[in-house]
Amino acid sequence: MSKIPITVVVSVKNEELNLPHCLEKLNQFSEVIVVDSQSTDSTPDIVKQFGYKIVDFNWDGKFPKKRNWTLRNVPLQNDWILFLDADEFLTQPFINEIETKTKQTNYSGFWLCYNNYFMGKELKHGDKMKKLALFKKNTGAYERIEEDSWSHLDMEVHEHPIIDGQIGAISSPIIHKDYKGLEHYIARHNAYSSWEAKRYLFLKKTGFKNLTSRQKIKYKVINSGLLPMVYFTGSYVLKLGFLDGVAGYRLAKYKANYFFQIQTKIIEQKHK
């Protein structure tokens, strides 16, 4: 059978626990490239075992970061590019849908939806994750943020692709399930919240431009000091997160605390 003409780019750093679950779902695609940020665990060996291409990335602290660097510097065989994290696992319905929808379409990209797992349990309610992570390589790139002086994250995390053309949606979900546990989850979101606080202060000086509707709402509510409570109420109550039981409550609390970290780090930076 012919392979699906989509290039899958998996961004990694020390992902030996998640990566096998991710790569085992990708054998139907004509090209899979793993872009590695100097992993010190068995990540490179796992990639070699699957027979996929691995590209080393060493960030110099300036633009471009990992995904934009890949678009600019790594030869990609196909027009369509699917960006994945190591804790994102494809399902067969998702693979079938993107194979069909990318064959003949006027769309330049597609929004993707995710089924989230937290502490080993699938969450069917609450705030759903969505990304614009499938698009044609020559139609755009991830937004550029002037962060040379303050960013410590080498990959686009909250930056969104800016794409020329119409954007569609894929209805079949990707599984989002991290096998690294709570310690890693907490450490990662601590780093993310520092980045978010610094970005907010930077945008406040330069102007809030090229934001998604969700980002616009988030930054407006940050000013009120109510973002943690607003998020918890929206996710756990209005979006029925309570139907996921204890796991739904725990995730809503952790995410609300994440926004509390952002708000208090903004206050701390202002005092400095």
pLDDT tens for residues 221-240?
887 889 999 999 999 999 99
Rounded Cα gap, residues 164 and 114, in angstroms? 24
> What is the b/e burial string over 165-192, where b = at least 16 CB atoms within 10 angstroms of the residue's CB?
eeeeebebbbbbbbbbeeeebeeebeeb
**How far does CA 18 lie from the centroid of its chain?**
15
> Which residues neighbour 231 within 8 Å (Cβ) at sequence distance 6 or greater?
127, 252, 255, 256, 259
Q: What is the mean pLDDT of residues 153-181?
A: 95
The DSSP code sequence of 114-161 is EEEEETTEEE-SSSPPEEEEEEETTSEEEPP---TTT---SS-SS--E
pLDDT band at 259 (very low <50, low <70, confident <90, very high): very high
Q: pTM, whole model, 2 decimals?
A: 0.93
Lowest mean pLDDT segment, chosen from 73-77, 122-126, 148-152, 192-196: 148-152
What 3-state class would DSSP assign to 210? coil
Architecture of domain 4-176: Alpha-Beta Complex (3.90)
| Domain ranges in the chain with CATH number 3.90.550.10 | 4-176
Contact 83, 156 (CB under 8 A): no
By DSSP bridging, strand 174-176 and strand 107-118 are parallel
pLDDT band at 209 (very low <50, low <70, confident <90, very high): confident
pLDDT of residue 170: 98
Contact 119, 140 (CB under 8 A): no
User: Tens digit of pLDDT for each residue in 79-130?
Assistant: 999 999 999 999 999 999 999 999 989 999 999 999 999 999 999 999 999 9
The DSSP code sequence of 55-121 is EE----SSS--HHHHHHHHS--SSSEEEEEETTEE--HHHHHHHHHHTTS-SEEEEEEEEEEEETTE
Beta-carbon-side half-sphere exposure of residue 67 (alpha carbons within 13 Å): 28
Rounded to whole angstroms, what are the CA distances from 62 to 14, 129, 155? 22, 28, 11
